[in-house]
Structure 1
Amino acid sequence: MFLIAGLGNPGKEYENTRHNAGFMVLDALADKLGADISEKKHKALCGRAVIGGQKVILLKPQTYMNSSGESIRAAADYYKVDPEDILVVYDDISLAPGQLRIRAKGSAGGHNGIKSIIAHLGTQEFPRVRVGVGEKPPRMDLADYVLGHFSQGERKIMEDAVKEAADAVMEAVEEGIDHAMNSHNRKKDGQA
């Protein structure tokens, strides 16, 4: 069994903000799989699906980003899922909008949601799909940037990235994280 967690903040005011890229990917994945992510459990909205014969739990923590680990730990304990079978999808300001980066493990890289997950799981050895939302402009507050909405020009790029990230998650479950990394870890056209 896999636990697939998309990170974000609950509430209408945060919908479609940069920090909610993980929620956006989970919603796209649920649409692809015909799953419903609405059961309230483990301080999250949960759903169930099957990818390539493998049972998966879809999880959207409702604890707010900086406490995501509480929800993920509760679900992992309940379903007896090991960290290497917990796939986390989240936004990354160090990647250009729409760029994906998939890793089998790694540090938090300054992301508070990932810091919380590492603290609660006691390890950084869990796979993740990072979705680029672009670097914050100089002199802009980081919180204002990540809680802000995508520009008109970024929206189409992000729609495509969300679909690709959902595909990458399915590939990671079906074919393994290395296969997904080889397929999706590349620069977008014209990006350094």
Structure 2
Amino acid sequence: MSTTPAGADSGVWLVVGLGNPGPSYAGHRHNIGYLVADELADRVGSGFRPHKSGRADVVEGRLGGTGGIGGVRVVLARPRCYMNETGGPVSTLAKFYKVPVERIVAIHDELDIPFDTMRVKIGGGDNGHNGLRSMRRSLDSGDFHRVRVGIGRPPGRQDPAAFVLSNYSSSERKVLPFQVDRAADAVESLVTEGLDKTQSRFNS
């Protein structure tokens, strides 16, 4: 599988923020992927619009350029379905834009990483994450990149499923914008500089 830096001729990347649609889920830990995708859309300079497939909102643009010039072509996506159905829209977009699996990036919450830290990797299992499981099934491969944004384990004996579908604490919300910004930096580094350099910088 390729982990080389993207260049001008390397083609488009598909960057997918995982989450659940609708205002009732907006502040949940499970929706960190949506928040990072929103930050990346701001950097691209465009808002999300419905894709013709009807199952995702997308932004097309470039990341990593200077003054709006250059950079790497990206399609930012937010599936318009619940987490456990994410794979279908991602597979559809990958086929539409002709993106190979090694140029797909999933941004998602990770229970086994402390809050305000992250890990970037390629491949691996789904670790119980329904969005990743759905992507693996629909793409027939798990060999996509992952930006794993830590949310930490639930306190006490709280059910992990309930924890991910709960809002960040007040103290976490103060730090959250910095975590979102850093995760967006990691995505930008990944598509412009490659996996090795990104892991060295961001795998805290």
**Aligned residue type for 2:37:** L
Cα offsets for 1:62-83 (capped at 9, x unmatched): 1111111011000001111000
Candidates 180, 185, 189, aligned match of 1:167: 185
Larger RCO: 1 or 2 (CA < 8 Å, sep 6+):
2
Matched, 1:19 2:30: yes
After alignment, is 151-160 or 5-14 more displaced?
151-160
Q: Tell me whether 1:123 sits opposite 2:134 in the alignment.
A: no
Whole-angstrom CA distance in 2 between matches of 1:19 and 1:150: 10
> Does the residue aligned with 2:86 lie in a helix, a strand or coil?
helix
Cα distance in 1, alignment partners of residues 143 and 183 from structure 2 = 20
- In structure 1, list runs of 5 or more residues that go unmatched: 187-192
Aligned length in residues = 186
Would you say 1:100 and 2:124 are equivalent positions? Answer: no
CA distance in 2, matches of 1:77, 1:138: 43
Q: Distance in 2 between matches of 1:61 and 1:159?
A: 22
- From 41, 57, 62, the counterpart of 1:45: 57
Residue in 1 that maps onto 2:157? 139
8 Å contact from structure 1 (residues 97, 157) kept in 2: no
2:109 to 71, 91, 100: 91
Question: Could you say which residue in structure 1 is the equivalent of 2:20?
Answer: 9
The letter of the residue matching 2:160 is: L
Q: Deviations over 1:106-126 (max 9, x none)?
A: 111111100000011111111
Residue 48 (structure 2) pairs with residue 30 (structure 1):
no
- Counterparts of 2:52 and 2:91, CA distance in 1: 12
1:172 to partner: Cα distance: 0.5
CA distance, structure 2, for counterparts of residue 41 and residue 23 of structure 1: 20
Displacement of 1:137: 2.1
Which segments of structure 1 move beyond 3 Å, counting only runs of 4 or more?
none
Is 2:95 the counterpart of 1:74?
no
Q: TM-score, normalised by structure 1?
A: 0.93
| Percentage of identical aligned residues | 39
| AA at the equivalent of 1:185 | N
CA shift for structure 1 position 19: 0.3
Letter in 2 for 1:165: A
**CA drift at 1:138:** 3.0
TM-score (norm 2): 0.88
Q: Which moved more, 1:135-144 or 1:145-154?
A: 135-144
Question: Residue type matched to 2:86 in 1?
Answer: S
Distance of 2:41 and 2:176 partners within structure 1: 17
Query: What CA distance in whole angstroms lies between the structure 2 residues aligned with 1:41 and 1:92?
Result: 31
Range moving further from structure 2, 163-172 or 31-40: 31-40
Amino acid corresponding to residue 7 of structure 1 in structure 2:
L
What is the CA-CA distance between 1:178 and the residue it aligns to? 1.6
Cα RMSD of the aligned pairs, angstroms, is 1.1
Aligned to 2:68: none
* Displacement of 1:157: 2.2
Q: Does 1:177 align with 2:195?
A: yes
SS in structure 2 of the partner of residue 9 of structure 1: coil
